[in-house]
């Protein structure tokens, strides 16, 4: 078991200690992030975009996530390791159980699923069988074609209320962490107070319980365009280890994200 656990992450929320998270896909970067003191490493299905060069995350497979999860978890000594469940790999409860088992066997300590109340029974089943679950609300990239693009979510009051209700339903179902992506800062702050589990933001302002960035974005080397909510720490520091340390420092002290990296309603 890694040093950072679900109970440690809960304690960090209670103590208002910011949680630092980053995506990781391979052993070398994962070791560097782990040594630097990142709390959480996510094997994100963003790998479809940053590793495979695809336009979205939809073609990523469970076997691909498992391959990269094995590489990351092999070297992680401290950080908590979460693996993304890809598009349609949890479309039914049966699929969710089969595919989550592959990711846990590859070394994940938690799996992440995108979506709201339709996931309640899936989350319960996974929990009952020993799989901790992280939710993901707001801009859920697997639904990009439903949204009609990568757009900020929750700007309309009814949408904001639905996101709050979904966060509470997922918490009752048993999620132990929640990622909130591209929502107005005020809404993210409201949701972070509403639930007792840690909320990790990306493009969600500074008032969540922690932050996550895609590693290629925070190093400014992504093949895709640089999202407004990210920051190029390599340009600032000139060294990858220093860049990661600076990111951790700015998250822990609440200086990242600034208003220029955040969205308003």
- Write out the binding residues for 3-methyl-2-oxobutanoate: 45-46, 84, 112
CA torsion sign, 159 to 161 to 167 to 171? negative
Contact assessment for residue 180 and residue 191, using Cβ atoms and an 8 Å cutoff = yes
CB of 181: closest distance to ligand KIV in angstroms? 6
Q: How far is it, in rounded angstroms, from Cα 43 to Cα 69?
A: 6
44 or 154: whose CB is closer to ligand KIV? 44
CB of 157: closest distance to ligand KIV in angstroms? 25
Q: Are strands 199-202 and 210-213 parallel, antiparallel or unpaired?
A: parallel
Contact with Na ion (CB under 5 A) among 45, 207, 209, 250: 45
| Neighbour-count burial of 75, counting CB atoms closer than 10 A to its CB (0-12 exposed, 13-18 middle, 19+ buried) | buried
CB of 170: closest distance to Na ion in angstroms? 16
Binding-site residues for Mg(2+), in ranges, read 45, 84, 114
Give residues 186-245 in contact with ligand KIV (rule: CB under 6 A): 202, 212, 214
CB of 237: closest distance to Na ion in angstroms? 26
Length of the chain: 265
Q: Give the per-residue contact string, 77-116, with Na ion (x = CB under 5 A; - = no).
A: -------x--------------------------------
93 is catalytic: no
Beta bridge partners of 210: 19, 200
Q: Give the per-residue contact string, 78-97, with ligand KIV (x = CB under 6 A; - = no).
A: ------x-------------
Helix residue ranges, H only, the chain: 6-14, 27-36, 47-50, 62-75, 93-105, 120-128, 144-147, 157-173, 185-194, 215-218, 233-237, 240-252
Which range of residues in 29-37, 38-46, 89-97, 117-125 is near ligand KIV by CB under 6 A? 38-46
Using CB under 5 A, list all residues that contact Na ion.
44-45, 84
Which are the catalytic amino acids? Answer: 181
């Amino acid at each position: 078991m890694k040093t950072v656990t679900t109970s440690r992450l809960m304690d960090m929320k209670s103590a208002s200690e910011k949680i630092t998270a980053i995506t990781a896909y391979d052993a070398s970067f994962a070791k560097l992030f782990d040594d630097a003191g990142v709390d959480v490493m996510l094997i994100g299905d963003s790998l479809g975009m940053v590793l495979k060069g695809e336009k979205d995350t939809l073609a990523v497979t469970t076997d691909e996530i498992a391959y990269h999860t094995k590489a990351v978890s092999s070297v992680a000594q401290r950080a908590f390791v979460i693996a993304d469940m890809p598009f349609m790999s949890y479309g039914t409860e049966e699929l969710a159980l089969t595919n989550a088992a592959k990711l846990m066997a590859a070394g994940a300590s938690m799996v992440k699923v995108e979506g709201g109340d339709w996931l309640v029974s899936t989350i319960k089943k996974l929990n009952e069988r020993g799989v901790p679950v992280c939710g993901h609300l707001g801009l859920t990239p697997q639904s990009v074609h439903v949204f009609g693009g990568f757009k900020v979510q929750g700007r309309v009051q009814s949408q904001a209320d639905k996101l709050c209700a979904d966060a509470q339903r997922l918490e009752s179902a048993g999620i132990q962490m929640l990622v909130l992506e591209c929502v107005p800062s005020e809404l993210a702050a409201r949701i972070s107070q509403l639930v007792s589990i840690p909320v990790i933001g990306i493009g969600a302002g500074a008032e969540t319980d922690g932050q996550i960035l895609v590693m290629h974005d925070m190093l400014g080397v992504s093949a895709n365009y640089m999202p407004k909510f990210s920051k190029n720490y390599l340009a600032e520091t000139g060294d990858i280890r220093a860049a990661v340390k600076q990111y951790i420092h700015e998250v822990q002290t609440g200086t990242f994200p600034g208003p220029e990296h955040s969205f308003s309603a």
